[in-house]
Structure 1
Amino acid sequence: MRASKGCAAWGRRGTGCGVIKLSQRALKSTSWIGQNCRLSAFPCFPVKFSLWYRPSACSPVVKLLMKPRVKHLGHAVRIGLAVLIAVTSAHASAYALDSLLDCKADAHAFIAPLQQDHVIEATPMRVEANSINAFKPTRGSHLTAFDFGVFAVVGFQKDDAIFKTGSGAPIAESAYGAVVIGGEDSVREKVRAAGSDAIIHHVAPFITAIFCNRD
């Protein structure tokens, strides 16, 4: 393709700039066409600028072409760093409940340390009729139980101020556990392998309760 005279300021054929035809949509979105090349249909465009690049002639056009790519690359890098920081933070603040779910303690011994360490909310997000209190993990905490992520921790102990009483009969003098994200069979396998005899209860698809009832 022959270089247009309108591109003389940007270089001639074989010196770094050539001419390429763009779609009408591309023409409308390219603000430098009329100002730099003064062409109605053929903007000046660097052809094979990696081989013919002349900074004095084509650098404004090269920058225009490269800017979107750099922008997308920078956006991807920022996303990658954000994910890496989130994963690193999650592992750094991981709080495993495995040893507390051996069903040898009571609800107070299970819930109180979690509140003191600020990994669960101080007040329950829900109180069932049977007095089971459900506590939500605090923002930024990463609770695990037998390698499963914890959705909520639950518990009740009679005559204990940290628990609220429901409208019905209490489930037991003391009961506690964790609701985890995982299938019932997988959770049971991990819990039994750890030597715990906790009750494994299906709550919903891939939501399972690990429950200790002392009665």
Structure 2
Amino acid sequence: MKTKTLLLALCAALPLTAHAYKLDRTMDCSMTVRDFFTPLVQAHAIQTPASMIGPKGANYFKKTSDNALTFFNMTVGWVVGYTNEPLLFTPPSDGTIPNFQGYGFYLQAPIAEVQATLASVGATAAQVRRIEPNVTYVYCEFPAAE
């Protein structure tokens, strides 16, 4: 009886782990915005179109409800990005074209933990910004595409 209960519990847990999407190898800033977002869209890891457009043009994407996004076991909240790719990104409503392109995400982790993780994997090009004590924004930003 115990074996059946354990087997049922493992089967129930499989769908939860099968939908995890790891962003572990994305923050060396060598990827294009398209290369970063394409697998996320194909895996249905983020909701499209963007849920929110920031005042400077950054597009904010929610993760899908059935997917868990992680970065070295830290929980990813929003995924953020912009480039002049009209199929995925929406420019600001005032019609201005952002003067940057880039990608990143918000982590539910303190900045010191995020910085230590980035340093340990050699991702020194990624920029890090503390948003709240346990929320950190990690991003790669480039000049605007021409």
TM-score range, shorter chain: 0.7 to 0.9
Match of 2:122 among 195, 208, 215: 195
- 1:164 is displaced (CA, Å) by 0.6
Q: Partner of 2:77 in structure 1?
A: 151
Aligned partner letter, 1:120? I
Rg larger for: 1
TM-score of the pair, normalised by structure 2: 0.81
TM-score of the pair, normalised by structure 1: 0.56
CA–CA distance in 1 between the matches of 2:86 and 2:30? 18
Q: Partner of 1:213 in structure 2?
A: 141
- Deviating above 4 A after TM superposition, structure 1's stretches of 4 or more consecutive aligned residues are none
Conservation of the 8 A alpha-carbon contact between 1:103 and 1:214: no
Aligned partner letter, 2:112? D
Q: Partner of 1:139 in structure 2?
A: 65
- 1:159 is displaced (CA, Å) by 4.2
Match of 1:180 among 94, 107, 110: 107
- 1:171 is displaced (CA, Å) by 4.8
- 1:115 is displaced (CA, Å) by 1.0
Conservation of the 8 A alpha-carbon contact between 1:146 and 1:191: no
Map residues 1-215 of structure 1 onto 2, 5 A cutoff: 85=12, 88-166=14-92, 167=94, 170-172=98-100, 174-197=101-124, 198-215=126-143
Aligned partner letter, 1:130? K
- 1:103 is displaced (CA, Å) by 0.6
- 1:104 is displaced (CA, Å) by 0.4
Unaligned runs of 5+ in 1: 1-76
Q: Deviations over 1:24-43 (max 9, x none)?
A: xxxxxxxxxxxxxxxxxxxx
Aligned partner letter, 1:189? A
How many residues are paired up? 133
The residue matched to 2:80 in structure 1 has which SS? strand
- 1:213 is displaced (CA, Å) by 0.7
Unaligned runs of 5+ in 2: none
User: What is the alpha-carbon root mean square deviation over aligned residues?
Assistant: 2.1
